[in-house]
Structure 1
Amino acid sequence: MNAQTFIARKLRFSGRLAIVAIAISFLVIVLSLAISAGFRYEIRKGLSEVSGDIRLVGSSEPVNIQPSYYEALEKVSGVRSIAPAVWKPGIIKGETDICGVLVKGVPMPDSCSLQALIPNSLSRALGLAVGDSFTTYFIEDKVRARRFTVGGTYEGIMDSEGSYIVKVPLADMQRLCGYAADEASVLEVSIDPARATAVGSRIIADQLYLASLSGHQEDEDILHGETARARYPQLFDWLDLIDFNVLAIILLMTVVAGFNMISGLLILLFRNISTIGTLKSLGMPNKSIASVFLRVASRIVLIGMAIGNGAALLFCALQGGTHLIKLNPVNYFVSFVPVHVDIGLILTVEIVAFGVIMLFMLIPSLFISKVDPAVTVRVK
């Protein structure tokens, strides 16, 4: 154990107010990161469930579900699954109201024929419960009607007033549209979450297009990839705004914590001014004396960080398990405050924040060089 460490351990300074300030700052930082990541995770997951991370479309509908280059599409790095879907707009008539919907045909067991999964918001709007039947009208050259039974409900991300996504068996929609069993409107691709960034999604979409371009036969269509960001730019603009706000919060909380530690370190220095003078008179250089007090201050910062992190993670566990705090999905796209703990991101931000706070504390440590041992050793 060197002299600086020994002296730092002997110095007594509780720094309760500084610890509380640090704990609050890092509580806010961790919650901001967790909630921002939660929104991005839930909305990306919802979009992936609605229409895939990437949608493969042809120059016209329908497209072949199993083109000759299908295996090449599956082998593209980052692709998790490829599923066919048939989309068609429709109108559902309830007892007292009508709603515009997008009907999506997805692969389901044959036993689910003419059953539908409807979003909870549509269930509330039309008073539909599991087991109830409803009629959906499809208007083209002529009006076609299909009667479905509610087989279940789900929490929809993309629901908005007058537009809901109803999921029905793919075979039912193929018959309605006159498609063959190997035809669909689009192919929907789910990709690895780690690759689901703006750049990553675009790269995978381009690779899928190249696989289609190089592998298609003369009588096959070339499929183009559309990313979720391209289809729903308003959602991702909103997420980018949240990320910008989180960055501002992190900077603000780091500065607040830094200035609190400056005041705390100044108090520590003034309380131990005679100790500083004694150490100087014994020949200890200014740099070593500053190291002693910076070690004490860093201990306070680490205690505050531990308390703040513990409180934030406890809240995340509680909110993630119970969805205690609710939101209006019309404004926030989800019905609860989402949390997603990204340990790597949190550790990176906290290491940078800790480094910045320690740099802040170099400012009051300059006070040590101004201390005159001939005067301070006489201070009682």
Structure 2
Amino acid sequence: MNLEYFIAKRLHGATSYKSSASTTIIKIAIIAIAIGMITMLIAIATGLGLQKKIREKVAAFSGDMLVSNFDGNNSEETVNPVPLYQDFYPDFEAVPEVTHVQAVATRAGIIRTATDFEGVLVKGLGADYDWDRIDDYLIEGRFPVLTGDLNTEMIISSYLANRLGFTLGDKVIVYFIDDNSDRPRPLRLDIVGIYESGYQEFDKAYLMADIRHIQRINRWKDYEVGAFEVFIDDFDKVEEVNNYVYKNSGSFLRSITVIQRNHNIFEWVKLFDFNIALIIAIMIIVAGINMIVALLVLILERTRMIGILKALGSSDYSVRKIFIYNAMYLIGMGLFWGNLIGLGLVFAQQYFGIITLNPETYYVKVAPVYINLGHILLLNVSVFVLCLLMLLIPSYIITKISPVKSIRFE
């Protein structure tokens, strides 16, 4: 243990402070770092958690990317069919990042009851549909059976069920406009399940049934579908992988990402990154300022000690190290308590869902959190280093202290 470290250790001992005022300022500095750390941990965990949850939810119901015809139609309804027999279906071997491909089709219709009516989109699904991706959102009943003989089973959102007064087991008649007839074509479906995604754009419009109903209503062949939903292993690479998917999908097909299809949602989600960065910057500045004040108070109270050390032959650099070591200790104390309390609150939210949100605004009912050890370590190191760098300038005051004057300093 060197001399500077030993003296620094004595500085933050119980008897090292001359006045209650300096003790209070130092405690405030530690509390400021702790509060800043708590705020940053919560901001990062909830911000990234909300981003991740929204992306997962939107992609679960619409795929990471959609491969369809160049039909010039930007609506959700399928216009021109795509042959089911494609080189990339059912296994997209040309793009290893693709984990699953499923065929879908959509058709706009109207549900009419005795007192109300509602425009809906019937999403047709095949036997290849991956129900595991939306399993967490099924709140009643079960998923429809899509294998074997064609049946009338379907699932509907809780939003539509509540709005139209439907419950599990009810029969629903959906009317479709037929361009070749003056009368709409009815389709009777039975509710076997009710889902609630919290993704209002989907819940307000979609009900899901067998794709063969859409093929029959559209007068398609049994090998024709509306589009292909493609899922990949890493959402962060969706733009890059989409280029490969497009190149390997055939010259008559296009591929668009879920980000392009839901531009407004993902632009809003991107704002979280700015908010997180702003909070981190403000908290680091506040913590740094408090540490600067605490360090200046320590230097002021230890002016005589500084003069004695210089008179005994200590260099300015050695004396500065004493106070830097002490500042490192104070920063470490603040980080310790900040991590302890901050991570405690984050884990409490993860397991108990204390904070709830309005799903119409945030697409989720409970504020999600995302805990990443790498992010936590990087944040701690960054805060420690930046606060320490901010203290180098005020510690330079030590070099201006004269041994003769400081020894007589009261």
TM over 0.5: yes
Q: 2:124 matched to 1:86?
A: no
Alignment of 1:47-196 (within 5 A): 47-59=58-70, 61-70=80-89, 73-108=92-127, 109=145, 110=147, 113-141=151-179, 142-160=183-201, 163-193=204-234, 196=235
| Structure 2 CA distance for partners of 1:128 and 1:266, relative to 1, 3 Å | farther
Aligned to 1:224: 254
Aligned to 1:238: 268
Aligned to 2:137: none
Counterpart CA distance in 1 for 2:375 and 2:195 is 31
Aligned to 2:12: 12
Does structure 1 retain, via aligned residues, the 8 Å contact 2:89–2:101?
Answer: no
Alignment of 1:306-321 (within 5 A): 306-321=336-351
The residue type equivalent to 1:262 in the other structure is: I
Q: 2:353 matched to 1:336?
A: no
Does structure 2 retain, via aligned residues, the 8 Å contact 1:100–1:163?
Answer: no
> SS state of the match for residue 29, structure 1?
helix
Aligned to 2:314: 284
Does structure 1 retain, via aligned residues, the 8 Å contact 2:122–2:209?
Answer: yes
The residue type equivalent to 1:30 in the other structure is: L
* Bigger mean CA deviation after superposition, 341-350 or 235-244: 341-350
Counterpart CA distance in 2 for 1:66 and 1:23 is 60
| Structure 2 CA distance for partners of 1:26 and 1:329, relative to 1, 3 Å | same
> SS state of the match for residue 73, structure 1?
coil
Give unpaired runs (5+ residues) of structure 2.
14-22, 72-79, 128-144
> SS state of the match for residue 96, structure 1?
coil
> SS state of the match for residue 107, structure 2?
strand
Aligned to 1:38: 49
* Bigger mean CA deviation after superposition, 174-183 or 314-323: 174-183
Does structure 1 retain, via aligned residues, the 8 Å contact 2:67–2:249?
Answer: no
Counterpart CA distance in 2 for 1:243 and 1:32 is 10
* Bigger mean CA deviation after superposition, 271-280 or 67-76: 67-76
Deviation for aligned residue 1:63: 1.4
Does structure 2 retain, via aligned residues, the 8 Å contact 1:100–1:162?
Answer: no
Counterpart CA distance in 1 for 2:330 and 2:170 is 62
Aligned to 2:140: none
Runs of 4+ in 1 over 6 A off after TM superposition: none
| Structure 2 CA distance for partners of 1:287 and 1:131, relative to 1, 3 Å | farther
Aligned to 1:372: 402
Cα deviation, 1:184-211, whole Å, max 9, x if unaligned, reads: 2111111123xx23xx322211101212
Does structure 1 retain, via aligned residues, the 8 Å contact 2:198–2:365?
Answer: no
Counterpart CA distance in 1 for 2:207 and 2:329 is 56
* Bigger mean CA deviation after superposition, 34-43 or 89-98: 89-98
| Structure 2 CA distance for partners of 1:281 and 1:133, relative to 1, 3 Å | farther
* Bigger mean CA deviation after superposition, 261-270 or 126-135: 126-135
| Structure 2 CA distance for partners of 1:269 and 1:71, relative to 1, 3 Å | same
Cα deviation, 1:92-151, whole Å, max 9, x if unaligned, reads: 234533222222122353379322222232233223332233222222324222222222
The residue type equivalent to 2:255 in the other structure is: G
The residue type equivalent to 1:328 in the other structure is: N
The residue type equivalent to 2:61 in the other structure is: V
* Bigger mean CA deviation after superposition, 79-88 or 161-170: 161-170
> SS state of the match for residue 104, structure 1?
strand
> SS state of the match for residue 370, structure 2?
coil
| Structure 2 CA distance for partners of 1:373 and 1:57, relative to 1, 3 Å | same
Aligned to 1:205: 242
How many residue pairs match? The answer is 369
| Structure 2 CA distance for partners of 1:317 and 1:254, relative to 1, 3 Å | same
2:286 to 242, 250, 256: 256
Does structure 2 retain, via aligned residues, the 8 Å contact 1:99–1:162?
Answer: no
Identity %: 31
| Structure 2 CA distance for partners of 1:224 and 1:273, relative to 1, 3 Å | same
Counterpart CA distance in 2 for 1:124 and 1:150 is 13
Does structure 2 retain, via aligned residues, the 8 Å contact 1:29–1:250?
Answer: yes
Does structure 2 retain, via aligned residues, the 8 Å contact 1:116–1:152?
Answer: yes
Q: TM-score, normalised by structure 2?
A: 0.82
| Structure 2 CA distance for partners of 1:206 and 1:252, relative to 1, 3 Å | same
Counterpart CA distance in 2 for 1:350 and 1:64 is 54
Does structure 2 retain, via aligned residues, the 8 Å contact 1:27–1:311?
Answer: yes
| Structure 2 CA distance for partners of 1:361 and 1:80, relative to 1, 3 Å | same
Deviation for aligned residue 1:9: 1.8
| Structure 2 CA distance for partners of 1:267 and 1:107, relative to 1, 3 Å | farther
Give unpaired runs (5+ residues) of structure 1.
214-220
The residue type equivalent to 2:81 in the other structure is: P
* Bigger mean CA deviation after superposition, 8-17 or 204-213: 8-17
Counterpart CA distance in 2 for 1:94 and 1:184 is 30
Counterpart CA distance in 1 for 2:2 and 2:222 is 78
